[in-house]
Amino acid sequence: MTIDTTTAIRVILWYRTPERDVAGLAETYRQIGEHLAGTPGMVSSELLVSRDEPGVLMVTSRWRTAEDLQRWVHSDTHRHTTPLRPYLDTGRTRPWETFSVVSET
């Protein structure tokens, strides 16, 4: 399958924190979201908390295209996400993954 770089993109970032620190991570995410509002090409972003393991969290973001995502990653505004980096789940091979949308219903 050939991946079309003009198609919609989903990014998943995995985080891990002690359950008692989930509220702090959520507040950090909220503050970062204020800086990201209106980012060209970003459709949405959300923070999810595992119902099975409350210290496991995931941020998902939707982007119009891979180009939009790459433009943002290489921009100055990307640095606003720095406060979340200590929470990245480094126990995973890669604490983030990028997916191309190949089908939606």
Q: How far apart are CA 65 and CA 6, in angstroms?
A: 5
Output the pLDDT for position 105: 82
- The percent of residues in the chain predicted with pLDDT above 70, rounded, is 94
83 in a structural domain: yes
75 in a structural domain: yes
Q: What is the mean pLDDT of the chain?
A: 92
Question: Does the pLDDT of residue 6 top 80, yes or no?
Answer: no
Output the pLDDT for position 86: 93
3 in a structural domain: no
22-67 pLDDT, tens digit per residue, is: 999 999 999 999 989 999 999 999 999 999 998 999 999 999 999 9
Closest CA to 62 of 39, 74, 44, 78: 44
Here the CATH number for the domain that contains residue 89 is: 3.30.70.100
52 in a structural domain: yes
Output the pLDDT for position 103: 83
| Structural domain range at position 81 | 9-100
105 in a structural domain: no
Question: Does the pLDDT of residue 68 top 90, yes or no?
Answer: yes
Q: How many domains does the chain have?
A: 1
19 in a structural domain: yes
Closest CA to 68 of 13, 11, 30: 11
